[in-house]
């Protein structure tokens, strides 16, 4: 039976100190002071325009991403969260995350973030090797990264570290060294993922000496073993956590939950009472946005597109996919995908159980091939 899924809130802060060569997220390099007050004013107006789409549902998580949200003053984050709570119902147990880079970490600022309601921090370390940090154009060194982590540990137990592998000239031992540093500081969550070069990034046109496929494969296998041995459970393709510290916000995405997206270039997915799923994309031009032009794109996902969108998310998770959730989240009967499921089983990508589908090792290894079955 169809029912409205849980809903989250994503807030995009577009400014950065420097645009990294591998980054394909939408961001502006801050060359002068950031118009924080004006941007927050328009974030709230953007939110107000989406309220009629959510049918009074309670927000279960908030994620403040970017860009570099920690460039904003603690007073700005405090005001933003305070004003959001006046406009929308936030669960008392909501996970509220803010992203930060080591260069912008200040003890007093982050202590005040926590006072404002932030209860989870995500630190973009990427690597603990100063030479590799230079190669991927980060603006801090190993010592600053370590200092940032030591400071955040004083403030909040629940924090994530972003770590990358497959960096230029990186060896397997370099990768394991990074992971050893990461687990030493006992984060509750580690996002560990391969550097990929996207077409719309500066690194795409730059010659980089990246490790070959065989080395990358060894890195993924040995790194995975190390993290599991160190007490971290792999619950998603690139996510590891201690017991009960999975990222609630991202779990909502991967379970095909709903989310409001506010701010420059933010994406949203909001299910309606009639079963329609609305996609929104906000204006990426900062000048247009702070002049009140928030919405760039809005459409209803077609029925034939829903199965692919659903499985693109849930097949990332390392757990069985409940059959009843497919209908609950898409408003489509299981019979609609009967032939595609049959094909996926025949190819050995999934196993069919009474109440769920289970992705096989082959299915996880060749996830793109599995998902192609659900293309129109």
7-252 shares its CATH topology with 304-376 = no
CA distance 284 to 37: 18
Over pLDDT 90: what percentage of the chain?
81
Confidence class for position 34, pLDDT limits 50, 70, 90: confident
pTM of structure: 0.94
- What pLDDT is stored for residue 19 in this prediction? 59
Residue pLDDT, tens place only, 131-147: 999 988 888 899 999 99
Model confidence at 97: pLDDT above 70: yes
Residue pLDDT, tens place only, 192-212: 999 886 666 566 566 677 889
Alpha carbon dihedral 74, 79, 84, 85, in 10-degree steps, equals 100
Model confidence at 83: pLDDT above 80: yes
- What pLDDT is stored for residue 68 in this prediction? 87
Contact between 266 and 53 (Cβ < 8 Å):
no
| Comparison of pLDDT for 264 and 107, the residue scoring more | 264
Indicate the SS3 state at residue 119: coil
Query: What value does the mean pLDDT take over residues 72-88?
Result: 96
- What pLDDT is stored for residue 203 in this prediction? 60
Alpha helices in the chain (DSSP H): 36-50, 74-87, 107-116, 130-135, 142-155, 172-184, 213-229, 248-254, 286-289, 306-314, 323-330, 338-346, 361-365, 367-372
The domains of the chain are located at 7-252, 304-376
Q: Which of 133-142, 147-156, 268-277, 325-334 has the lowest mean pLDDT?
A: 133-142
| Comparison of pLDDT for 329 and 200, the residue scoring more | 329
- What pLDDT is stored for residue 138 in this prediction? 85
Residue 13, phi then psi, degrees to nearest 5: -110, 110
Q: Report the topology of domain 304-376.
A: Arc Repressor Mutant, subunit A (1.10.10)
Q: In whole numbers, what is the pLDDT of the chain averaged over residues? A: 92
| Whether CATH 3.40.30.10 fits 7-252 | no
């Amino acid at each position: 039976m169809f029912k409205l899924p849980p809903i989250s809130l994503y807030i995009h802060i577009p400014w950065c100190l420097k645009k990294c060569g591998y980054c394909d997220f939408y961001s502006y390099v801050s060359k002068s002071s950031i118009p924080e007050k004006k941007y927050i004013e328009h974030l709230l107006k953007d939110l107000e325009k989406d309220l009629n789409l959510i049918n009074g549902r309670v927000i279960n998580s908030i994620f403040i991403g970017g860009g570099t949200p920690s460039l904003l003053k603690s007073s700005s984050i405090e005001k933003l969260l305070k004003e959001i709570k006046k406009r929308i119902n936030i669960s008392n147990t909501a996970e509220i995350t803010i992203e930060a880079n080591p260069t912008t970490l200040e003890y007093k600022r982050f202590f005040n973030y926590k006072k404002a309601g932030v209860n989870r921090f995500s630190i973009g370390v990427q690597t603990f090797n100063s030479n590799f940090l230079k190669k991927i154009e980060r603006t801090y060194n190993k010592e600053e990264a370590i200092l940032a982590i030591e400071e955040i540990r004083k403030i909040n137990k629940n924090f994530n570290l972003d770590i990358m592998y497959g960096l230029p000239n990186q060896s397997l031992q370099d990768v394991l060294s990074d992971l050893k540093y990461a687990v030493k500081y006992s984060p509750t969550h580690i996002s560990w993922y391969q550097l990929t070069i996207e077409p719309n990034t500066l690194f795409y046109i730059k010659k980089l000496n990246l490790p070959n496929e065989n080395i990358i494969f060894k890195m993924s296998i040995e790194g995975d073993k190390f993290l599991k041995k160190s007490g971290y459970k792999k619950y998603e393709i690139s996510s590891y956590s201690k017991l009960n510290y999975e990222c609630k916000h991202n779990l909502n995405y991967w379970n095909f939950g709903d989310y409001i997206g506010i701010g420059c270039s933010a994406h949203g997915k909001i299910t309606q009472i009639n079963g329609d799923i609305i996609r929104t994309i906000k204006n990426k031009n900062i000048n247009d946005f702070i002049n009140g032009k928030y919405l760039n794109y809005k459409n209803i996902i077609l029925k034939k597109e829903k199965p692919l969108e659903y499985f693109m998310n849930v097949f990332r998770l390392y757990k069985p996919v409940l059959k009843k959730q497919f209908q609950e989240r898409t408003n489509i009967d299981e019979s609609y995908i009967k032939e595609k499921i049959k094909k996926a089983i025949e190819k050995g990508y999934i196993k069919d159980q009474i109440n769920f589908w289970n992705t096989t090792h082959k299915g996880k290894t060749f996830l793109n091939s599995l998902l192609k079955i659900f293309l129109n």
